[in-house]
Amino acid sequence: MKKTLIALCIHSLLYSSLSFAENTSSQIFNKITKNDETIVVTANRSTQNKFDTLAAVDIFTREDIEKIQPLSVSDLLSRVAGISMTTQGTSAHKSSSFVRGTSSDHLLVLVNGVRLGSTDLGVKSLADIPVQLVERVEVIKGSRAALWGSDAVGGVVQVFTRDLTAGESQVGGRVGSNSLYQGYGALGFGNKDHSYTLSASLEKSKGFDVTAPSGSIPPADDKNDDDGYDRQSVGLLGTSQFTKQYALELSTQYVQGTTEFDANTQYTGDEISYKNYHLLLRNHLQLEQVYLQLGLSTYQDSTEDNYSDFNNQNGFPNPNSSFTTTREQVTALAQLPFGEFSELTAGYEWYNESIDSNNFYDKTERDGKAFFISTTRNIERLKLEASIRYDKIGDIDGETSYQLAAGYQVSEQLLFSLSHGTAFKVPSLNDLYYPLQGNPELISETSDSLEFLTRYHNKLFFAEVSIYKTNIDNLIEWTPLDSSVPYSPWQPENIAKAEVFGAEATLSADIADTSNRLTLSHVDAEDKSPGKKLARRPYFSANYNFIYSLGQLDFTFDVNYQGSSFDNSAIQETQLKAYTLLDVGVNYRLNSKMNLFARITNLTDKNYQTASNYPGAERGYSLTLDYKF
């Protein structure tokens, strides 16, 4: 049954906007499908053809995810040019994304338009997002703070959860090495005006021995045991179309689980229990010449360790460390077209961030507000974009960010663009107010970036090449208050400055019965203060994905090369050797509804590390049965 304009937009995963007047919108949205790789919404907070976007963009559809069979969202992102991933254990343990040489907290993560990330640490673990509940992932590389605010220094990743039409259903199960088992399902229900998807997943594994860094202070304890995990999640996504002009969107997801690790149990536990959820209500109103949006959202993240199991003083156990962080946000957006080839977007955001912990913070909450305006203009073959935004967060000085881009479309197949933008990362509540160690005098980290991009495509071939340079000032580093005193207390300071130069390429081609995708990345990231390379940023990396289709079978072959880099801790510096991983898989289409996926990871059983003293996963396997009805 055909959806109305607004419902089609939302249920096609374009949750941010109906960006044009109704006559223009109809021409665009009629082309949209769930697995459409031609439309992107995250780059400019409006629907836009991917080829016309003046930023480096990667899109993974549900079809891509089913072919790749990634273990996690982090595993998926490791296939993107310019992104290096570090995982400290299994797919459920801490993972960090270094986008174009920037820090791991310089990536903004959104789920269905909701900003995620704990307000104490300021980062979001991608391991918390079950990949089986993911419909689509959009990756925008380069600064985007002029549209999205703090954190969008290296880029923005937006994850869209499962979206089925009424009557569609999907169930599946997976088993694998390290006693892995997983079950998942999604159900679409409703009618032409009210369409919703309920999804759920559970997963458990005994894991493997996750060794803690021996260079940590105090020294950590490797218990020589398997460090497993379990997690469960449930989500609801949908839209109610009350009139042709007005729709109400609902998005919510709840995740809980436990993760084991090796740690110094004299000071910490060896298991973390966590739960997080988000809730979004977003109003969409399409008038004759303007689109209006009002969103209300809440995100909460809670963690607690098992410290009390290991520490008793005078027969009384010390309490577990617990943290609950909350972010409540209001977002108003208005979009107005000017003719057929121009558009103006204006927005306002207000939010409150707070922390509740049994550690006594000097300050436990702060408010933020922001105003932004963005415009696009096409003049024949010339494409122009401009955005400016002002943020005021807590007691920190306000930040003004801007983005300017110009592109020239030589033909329907070839585009060149040049862009310049500024971005910032506001200090986290831990940086500012952590008990006895926070520094309320901190200012925001700031950056400016310049990028030249070339994009080419035809029916069989796609190529995107970028060259960029980024300067980052006032980087926050935790340093000892007195370096001459062993085990001196540490405090964050704005003392570092970095310079990043890089080049990357994404090439894909469909030849005969094969699909080929090659990514190449060069990153030269240097900390200018001591004059040395930034940690965990390989100088060169490459990824090749090959899929061969033969009747009911799809054979997949992945090669992932990561060049050498180094890692550092409080007391030592470690060289991380280059490595190459080989993954193979096969997809057997039993019939039109049932698929059987088999995958072997790290086929050659390569020993490697993405972070010092955390061994990478050994050879592993998984078998997945997926049924759609």
As given in the structure block, the two tokens for residue 581 are 């991983």
What are the phi and psi torsion angles at 344 (to 5°)? Answer: -120, 130
- Measure Cα distances from 380 to 42, 165, 206, 553 in Å: 24, 38, 59, 45
The range of the structural domain enclosing residue 379 comes to: 5-628
Query: What is the predicted pLDDT for the residue at 300?
Result: 93
Angstrom distance (rounded) from CA 579 to CA 576 = 9
Chain segment 234-277, per-residue pLDDT in tens: 999 999 999 999 999 999 999 999 988 777 666 666 788 999 99
In the predicted model, what is the mean pLDDT of residues 392-402? Answer: 94
Inform me whether the pLDDT recorded for 527 exceeds 60: yes
Range scoring the smallest mean pLDDT among 27-36, 188-197, 532-541, 545-554? 27-36
CA distance 396 to 353: 14
**In the block, which residue shows the tokens 């939010």?**
351
Better-predicted residue by pLDDT, 288 or 406: 406
Residue 544 tokens read as: 């090749």
27 — phi, psi (to 5°)? -65, -35
pLDDT digits 0-9 by tens, 425-446? 999 998 999 888 889 999 999 9
Helix (H) or strand (E) holding 9: helix 5-11
Total domains in the fold of the chain: 1
Q: What confidence category does residue 27 fall into, taking pLDDT thresholds of 50, 70 and 90?
A: very low
CATH of the domain at 600: 2.40.170.20
Cβ-contact 460, 510 below 8 angstroms: yes
Phi and psi, residue 441, nearest 5°:
-90, 0
Q: DSSP readout, 45-106?
A: TS-EEGGG-SSEEEEE-HHHHHHH--SSHHHHHTTSTTEEEEESSSTTS-EEEEETT--TTS
Please state whether beta strands 107-111 and 155-161 pair in parallel, antiparallel, or not at all (unpaired). parallel
Nearest 5 degrees, angle CA 181-CA 182-CA 185? 160
Per-position DSSP letters for 349-366, written without gaps between them = EEEEEEEEESS--S--EE
The whole-number pLDDT of residue 35 equals 60
- Measured CA to CA, the distance from residue 92 to residue 97 in angstroms comes to 14
pLDDT given for residue 314 in this prediction: 53
Question: Who's near 74: CB < 8 A, 6+ residues apart?
Answer: 85, 87, 91, 95, 97, 126, 127
Report CA 51 to chain centroid distance, whole Å. 22
| Angstrom distance (rounded) from CA 454 to CA 463 | 8
pLDDT tens, 351-394? Answer: 999 999 888 888 999 999 999 999 999 999 999 999 999 999 99
